[in-house]
Amino acid sequence: MVNDHDILPLRLQEIMVKRRGKRILGPVSLVLQGKGISVVVGPNGSGKTTLLRAMHGIDRISEGRKSWSISDAQAHAAQSFVFQTPIMMRRNVRDNIAYPLVLRGMARSEARAAADIRAARVGLGAAVLRAARVLSGGEKQKLALARALVTAPQVLFLDEPCANLDGHATQEIETILHAASAAGTRIVMSTHDLGQARRLADEVLFLHDGHVVEMLPAAAFFAGPASAQALAFLKGDLVL
Ligand SMILES: Nc1ncnc2c1ncn2[C@@H]1O[C@H](COP(=O)(O)OP(=O)(O)OP(=O)(O)O)[C@@H](O)[C@H]1O
Protein backbone atom coordinates (compact mmCIF):
# COMPACT_ATOMS: atom_id res chain seq x y z
CA MET A 1 0.00 0.00 0.00
CA VAL A 2 2.89 2.32 0.77
CA ASN A 3 4.56 2.66 -2.57
CA ASP A 4 5.02 0.74 -5.77
CA HIS A 5 8.79 1.04 -5.93
CA ASP A 6 10.84 -1.95 -4.90
CA ILE A 7 12.82 -1.00 -1.82
CA LEU A 8 15.15 -3.99 -2.30
CA PRO A 9 17.96 -4.68 -2.71
CA LEU A 10 19.25 -3.55 0.65
CA ARG A 11 23.01 -3.10 0.54
CA LEU A 12 25.21 -3.06 3.62
CA GLN A 13 28.77 -1.98 2.98
CA GLU A 14 31.20 -2.54 5.84
CA ILE A 15 28.67 -1.43 8.44
CA MET A 16 29.62 -1.33 12.10
CA VAL A 17 27.47 -0.76 15.17
CA LYS A 18 29.31 0.41 18.28
CA ARG A 19 28.10 1.01 21.80
CA ARG A 20 30.21 3.24 24.03
CA GLY A 21 33.09 2.80 21.64
CA LYS A 22 32.85 -1.01 21.67
CA ARG A 23 32.10 -2.90 18.46
CA ILE A 24 28.97 -5.05 18.81
CA LEU A 25 28.37 -5.68 15.10
CA GLY A 26 30.48 -5.66 11.98
CA PRO A 27 32.04 -4.93 9.75
CA VAL A 28 29.18 -6.51 7.78
CA SER A 29 28.76 -6.35 4.02
CA LEU A 30 25.83 -8.06 2.35
CA VAL A 31 23.05 -7.63 -0.17
CA LEU A 32 19.50 -8.56 0.74
CA GLN A 33 17.34 -9.17 -2.30
CA GLY A 34 15.00 -11.63 -3.94
CA LYS A 35 12.08 -13.33 -2.29
CA GLY A 36 11.43 -15.57 0.65
CA ILE A 37 12.46 -15.88 4.27
CA SER A 38 15.99 -15.20 5.53
CA VAL A 39 16.65 -16.61 8.98
CA VAL A 40 19.44 -15.19 11.13
CA VAL A 41 20.99 -17.71 13.52
CA GLY A 42 24.04 -17.74 15.76
CA PRO A 43 25.17 -18.09 19.35
CA ASN A 44 23.91 -15.83 22.14
CA GLY A 45 25.31 -12.34 21.78
CA SER A 46 26.52 -12.89 18.22
CA GLY A 47 24.64 -9.81 17.01
CA LYS A 48 21.39 -11.15 15.53
CA THR A 49 19.15 -8.53 17.13
CA THR A 50 21.60 -5.74 16.37
CA LEU A 51 21.81 -6.75 12.69
CA LEU A 52 18.01 -6.67 12.31
CA ARG A 53 17.77 -3.34 14.15
CA ALA A 54 20.56 -1.83 12.05
CA MET A 55 18.93 -3.00 8.81
CA HIS A 56 15.60 -1.45 9.80
CA GLY A 57 17.21 1.72 11.12
CA ILE A 58 16.48 1.38 14.84
CA ASP A 59 20.17 1.09 15.72
CA ARG A 60 22.42 3.77 14.35
CA ILE A 61 25.24 2.59 12.13
CA SER A 62 28.58 3.92 13.40
CA GLU A 63 30.57 3.23 10.26
CA GLY A 64 29.94 2.02 6.74
CA ARG A 65 26.97 2.53 4.50
CA LYS A 66 23.45 1.17 4.24
CA SER A 67 21.28 1.81 1.22
CA TRP A 68 17.87 0.75 -0.02
CA SER A 69 17.02 1.14 -3.68
CA ILE A 70 14.96 4.25 -2.84
CA SER A 71 15.31 6.95 -0.20
CA ASP A 72 15.55 5.85 3.44
CA ALA A 73 12.31 7.62 4.36
CA GLN A 74 10.32 5.97 1.58
CA ALA A 75 11.95 2.63 2.26
CA HIS A 76 11.20 2.87 5.97
CA ALA A 77 7.50 3.32 5.28
CA ALA A 78 7.50 0.02 3.37
CA GLN A 79 8.95 -2.01 6.27
CA SER A 80 7.67 -3.38 9.56
CA PHE A 81 9.49 -4.69 12.63
CA VAL A 82 8.13 -7.17 15.18
CA PHE A 83 9.90 -7.21 18.52
CA GLN A 84 10.50 -10.28 20.65
CA THR A 85 8.14 -8.89 23.28
CA PRO A 86 5.25 -7.29 21.44
CA ILE A 87 4.36 -3.76 22.39
CA MET A 88 0.63 -3.43 23.07
CA MET A 89 -1.21 -0.15 23.29
CA ARG A 90 -3.98 0.31 25.88
CA ARG A 91 -6.58 -0.21 23.22
CA ASN A 92 -8.55 -3.10 21.87
CA VAL A 93 -7.21 -5.53 19.30
CA ARG A 94 -8.91 -3.75 16.40
CA ASP A 95 -7.47 -0.34 17.24
CA ASN A 96 -4.00 -1.79 17.85
CA ILE A 97 -4.01 -3.27 14.36
CA ALA A 98 -5.58 -0.16 12.79
CA TYR A 99 -3.03 2.18 14.38
CA PRO A 100 -0.31 2.11 11.66
CA LEU A 101 -2.94 2.85 9.01
CA VAL A 102 -4.33 5.79 11.00
CA LEU A 103 -0.76 7.06 11.42
CA ARG A 104 -0.41 6.96 7.64
CA GLY A 105 -3.52 9.11 7.26
CA MET A 106 -6.24 6.56 6.59
CA ALA A 107 -9.73 7.41 7.90
CA ARG A 108 -10.40 5.61 11.18
CA SER A 109 -13.46 3.72 9.91
CA GLU A 110 -11.55 2.43 6.90
CA ALA A 111 -8.56 1.51 9.04
CA ARG A 112 -10.78 -0.42 11.46
CA ALA A 113 -12.37 -2.35 8.60
CA ALA A 114 -8.91 -3.28 7.29
CA ALA A 115 -7.88 -4.23 10.84
CA ASP A 116 -10.82 -6.60 11.19
CA ILE A 117 -9.82 -8.39 7.99
CA ARG A 118 -6.24 -8.77 9.23
CA ALA A 119 -7.43 -9.92 12.66
CA ALA A 120 -9.51 -12.64 11.04
CA ARG A 121 -6.54 -13.81 8.95
CA VAL A 122 -4.43 -14.39 12.07
CA GLY A 123 -7.23 -16.06 13.98
CA LEU A 124 -8.17 -13.07 16.15
CA GLY A 125 -11.47 -12.38 14.40
CA ALA A 126 -13.49 -13.09 17.53
CA ALA A 127 -11.20 -10.97 19.71
CA VAL A 128 -11.26 -7.60 17.94
CA LEU A 129 -13.03 -5.85 20.81
CA ARG A 130 -10.91 -7.38 23.56
CA ALA A 131 -8.28 -5.29 25.34
CA ALA A 132 -4.91 -6.12 23.80
CA ARG A 133 -3.17 -6.24 27.18
CA VAL A 134 -5.19 -9.21 28.43
CA LEU A 135 -4.32 -11.47 25.50
CA SER A 136 -2.15 -14.55 25.95
CA GLY A 137 1.48 -14.46 24.77
CA GLY A 138 0.63 -16.26 21.54
CA GLU A 139 -2.34 -13.99 20.86
CA LYS A 140 -0.21 -10.90 21.49
CA GLN A 141 2.37 -12.11 18.99
CA LYS A 142 -0.39 -12.77 16.43
CA LEU A 143 -1.71 -9.25 17.04
CA ALA A 144 1.80 -7.85 16.57
CA LEU A 145 2.05 -9.72 13.27
CA ALA A 146 -1.36 -8.52 12.09
CA ARG A 147 -0.34 -4.94 12.95
CA ALA A 148 2.98 -5.36 11.14
CA LEU A 149 1.30 -6.81 8.05
CA VAL A 150 -1.67 -4.44 7.83
CA THR A 151 0.40 -1.93 5.87
CA ALA A 152 1.40 -4.66 3.38
CA PRO A 153 5.13 -4.10 3.97
CA GLN A 154 7.65 -5.13 1.36
CA VAL A 155 10.06 -6.20 4.07
CA LEU A 156 9.16 -7.58 7.51
CA PHE A 157 11.78 -7.95 10.25
CA LEU A 158 11.10 -10.17 13.25
CA ASP A 159 13.34 -10.61 16.26
CA GLU A 160 12.76 -14.04 17.84
CA PRO A 161 9.02 -13.95 17.18
CA CYS A 162 8.33 -17.28 18.87
CA ALA A 163 10.56 -16.99 21.94
CA ASN A 164 8.49 -18.07 24.96
CA LEU A 165 5.64 -19.48 22.86
CA ASP A 166 4.41 -23.07 23.06
CA GLY A 167 4.40 -25.41 20.07
CA HIS A 168 0.83 -24.68 19.08
CA ALA A 169 1.29 -20.89 19.09
CA THR A 170 4.62 -21.27 17.28
CA GLN A 171 2.94 -23.31 14.57
CA GLU A 172 0.27 -20.62 14.11
CA ILE A 173 2.91 -17.89 13.81
CA GLU A 174 4.90 -19.96 11.30
CA THR A 175 1.77 -20.48 9.19
CA ILE A 176 1.19 -16.71 9.14
CA LEU A 177 4.82 -16.10 8.13
CA HIS A 178 4.62 -18.66 5.33
CA ALA A 179 1.44 -16.98 4.05
CA ALA A 180 3.00 -13.51 4.24
CA SER A 181 6.06 -14.72 2.36
CA ALA A 182 3.88 -16.40 -0.28
CA ALA A 183 2.01 -13.10 -0.66
CA GLY A 184 5.30 -11.37 -1.50
CA THR A 185 6.58 -9.92 1.76
CA ARG A 186 10.35 -10.38 2.12
CA ILE A 187 10.99 -11.67 5.63
CA VAL A 188 14.14 -11.42 7.73
CA MET A 189 13.93 -12.99 11.18
CA SER A 190 16.16 -14.19 13.96
CA THR A 191 15.64 -17.36 15.94
CA HIS A 192 17.36 -19.47 18.57
CA ASP A 193 15.47 -22.48 17.30
CA LEU A 194 17.31 -24.41 14.59
CA GLY A 195 14.18 -26.51 14.00
CA GLN A 196 12.32 -23.31 13.19
CA ALA A 197 15.13 -22.22 10.90
CA ARG A 198 14.84 -25.54 9.05
CA ARG A 199 11.06 -25.16 8.76
CA LEU A 200 11.04 -21.56 7.58
CA ALA A 201 14.30 -20.55 5.98
CA ASP A 202 14.91 -20.10 2.28
CA GLU A 203 18.23 -18.51 3.19
CA VAL A 204 20.32 -18.65 6.37
CA LEU A 205 22.62 -15.99 7.79
CA PHE A 206 24.96 -17.37 10.44
CA LEU A 207 26.45 -14.80 12.79
CA HIS A 208 29.43 -15.19 15.07
CA ASP A 209 31.05 -12.45 17.14
CA GLY A 210 29.28 -9.69 15.23
CA HIS A 211 30.21 -11.04 11.80
CA VAL A 212 28.06 -12.65 9.11
CA VAL A 213 30.11 -15.79 8.68
CA GLU A 214 27.71 -17.55 6.28
CA MET A 215 24.89 -16.35 4.04
CA LEU A 216 23.65 -19.35 2.09
CA PRO A 217 20.53 -20.96 0.64
CA ALA A 218 19.00 -22.94 3.52
CA ALA A 219 19.54 -26.32 1.86
CA ALA A 220 23.25 -25.62 1.41
CA PHE A 221 23.63 -24.33 4.97
CA PHE A 222 22.02 -27.36 6.56
CA ALA A 223 23.82 -29.77 4.21
CA GLY A 224 27.19 -28.46 5.32
CA PRO A 225 28.28 -24.90 6.04
CA ALA A 226 31.82 -23.94 5.17
CA SER A 227 32.91 -22.52 8.52
CA ALA A 228 33.98 -24.49 11.58
CA GLN A 229 31.84 -22.22 13.78
CA ALA A 230 28.64 -22.93 11.85
CA LEU A 231 29.40 -26.66 11.79
CA ALA A 232 29.87 -26.62 15.56
CA PHE A 233 26.67 -24.60 16.00
CA LEU A 234 24.70 -27.09 13.90
CA LYS A 235 26.10 -29.98 15.93
CA GLY A 236 24.97 -28.29 19.14
CA ASP A 237 28.53 -27.68 20.34
CA LEU A 238 29.43 -24.49 22.15
CA VAL A 239 30.74 -21.93 19.65
CA LEU A 240 33.52 -19.92 21.24
N1 LIG B 1 22.82 -1.49 24.54
C2 LIG B 1 23.92 -2.25 24.53
N3 LIG B 1 25.05 -1.80 25.11
C4 LIG B 1 26.18 -2.55 25.11
N5 LIG B 1 26.27 -3.76 24.55
C6 LIG B 1 25.19 -4.24 23.95
C7 LIG B 1 23.95 -3.52 23.90
N8 LIG B 1 23.04 -4.28 23.24
C9 LIG B 1 23.68 -5.41 22.88
N10 LIG B 1 24.96 -5.39 23.31
C11 LIG B 1 25.97 -6.44 23.10
O12 LIG B 1 26.12 -6.60 21.70
C13 LIG B 1 26.32 -7.96 21.37
C14 LIG B 1 25.27 -8.39 20.36
O15 LIG B 1 23.99 -8.37 20.99
P16 LIG B 1 22.68 -8.88 20.24
O17 LIG B 1 21.55 -8.70 21.20
O18 LIG B 1 22.58 -8.20 18.92
O19 LIG B 1 23.00 -10.40 20.02
P20 LIG B 1 22.00 -11.61 19.75
O21 LIG B 1 22.72 -12.52 18.83
O22 LIG B 1 20.68 -11.08 19.32
O23 LIG B 1 21.92 -12.25 21.19
P24 LIG B 1 20.83 -13.23 21.83
O25 LIG B 1 20.92 -14.49 21.04
O26 LIG B 1 21.35 -13.41 23.22
O27 LIG B 1 19.52 -12.53 21.75
C28 LIG B 1 26.28 -8.74 22.67
O29 LIG B 1 27.59 -8.95 23.09
C30 LIG B 1 25.55 -7.81 23.62
O31 LIG B 1 25.97 -8.04 24.93
| Segment 179-192, tens digit of pLDDT | 999 999 999 999 99
Residue 148 sits at the vertex; the CA angle it makes with 150 and 115, to the nearest 5 degrees, is 35
pLDDT given for residue 87 in this prediction: 86
Calculate ∠ Cα 200-150-109, nearest 5°. Answer: 160
The percent of residues in the chain predicted with pLDDT above 90, rounded, is: 93
Q: Dihedral through CA 83, CA 33, CA 106, CA 150, nearest 10?
A: -50
- How many angstroms is it from 78 CA to the middle of ligand 1? 26
Structural domains in the chain, CATH included, are: 10-88+135-235 (3.40.50.300)
pLDDT, position 225: 87
Write the CB contacts of 134 (distance below 8 Å, at least 6 apart in sequence).
none
Task: Name residues contacting ligand 1 (CB within 6 A).
Answer: 19, 24, 42, 44-50
pLDDT in tens, 119-158: 999 999 999 999 999 999 999 999 999 999 999 999 999 9
Going by C-alpha positions, the residue among 72, 44, 71 that lies closest to residue 56 is 72
Dist. CA 135–CA 51, nearest whole Å: 29
The ipTM, to two decimals, is 0.93
Cα 19 to ligand 1 centre (Å): 10
pLDDT of residue 1 exceeding 60: no
What's the confidence (pLDDT) of residue 3?
55
Residue pair 55/66 in contact (Cβ under 8 Å)? The answer is: yes
Residues 49 and 25: their CA atoms lie apart, in Å, by: 10
For residue 240, is pLDDT > 90? no
Query: CB of 58 within 8 A of CB of 222?
Result: no
Kindly report the protein residue whose alpha carbon is nearest to atom 18 of ligand 1: 47
Tell me: the pLDDT tens digits for 16-38?
999 999 999 999 999 999 999 99
pTM of the model: 0.95
> Strand, coil or helix: what is 66?
strand
The chain-wide mean pLDDT, for the chain, equals 95
Determine the Cα–Cα distance for residues 203 and 219; give it in Å rounded to an integer. 8
Model confidence over 161-212: pLDDT tens digits? 999 899 999 999 999 999 999 999 999 999 999 999 999 999 999 999 999 9
